[in-house]
Structure 1
Amino acid sequence: MFLESHVWLHNQIHVIISESVNTHERAIAELEAQGGTCLSDQCQQNTLGSVIVNGKWSVWSLTKSERGELNGRN
């Protein structure tokens, strides 16, 4: 599971991607305290794909819990 949010601040969209709910909410709160507005807030379950990191495509890595699920462990 990972959380993804988009926050509008200083004429830019800031993307926040986290695995921890507490860390995610803290990051959103910090941007909102600076005058940002949350445009979207989503939770993705067991989704694998690729992301753009520093302008290059990169495979989205599995979390430890997701690796365990793929190997038949819970």
Structure 2
Amino acid sequence: MFIVSYVWLHNQVHAVISESIKTHNQALDKLRQQGGTIIQNEHKDNTLGSVIVNGKKSVWPLTKSEGLRSNG
């Protein structure tokens, strides 16, 4: 499980991705204090991402804990 938020700040979209709700909220609070606006919040479960390794696309867990679970 992880949380993804997108924040508009200084004419850019910043992505905040965390496994901990507390850490996530702390990061969002810091961005809000700088004048940022949250434009989207998402909660993801069991989501795999893909990466390119040695020129080949591979499915890979997006978070360290998911990688540890899948590797035993």
| TM bucket normalised to smaller | 0.7 to 0.9
Output one character per residue of 1:8-52: Cα deviation in whole Å (capped at 9) or x when no partner.
00000000000000000000010001000000000001111136x
Aligned to 1:31: 31
- Where structure 2 has 5 or more consecutive residues not aligned to the other structure, the ranges are 52-56
- Where structure 1 has 5 or more consecutive residues not aligned to the other structure, the ranges are 52-56
Task: Name the CA distance, whole Å, in 2 between partners of 1:31 and 1:14.
Answer: 9
Deviating beyond 2 angstroms after TM superposition, the runs of 4 or more aligned structure 1 residues are: 57-62
Q: CA RMSD in A?
A: 2.8
Task: Name the CA distance, whole Å, in 2 between partners of 1:67 and 1:13.
Answer: 31
- Give me the identity figure in percent: 46
Structure showing the higher strand proportion among its residues: 2
Task: Name the CA distance, whole Å, in 2 between partners of 1:25 and 1:61.
Answer: 18
Task: Name the CA distance, whole Å, in 2 between partners of 1:48 and 1:61.
Answer: 9
TM-score under structure 1 length normalisation: 0.72
Task: Name the CA distance, whole Å, in 1 between partners of 2:65 and 2:40.
Answer: 23
TM-score under structure 2 length normalisation: 0.74
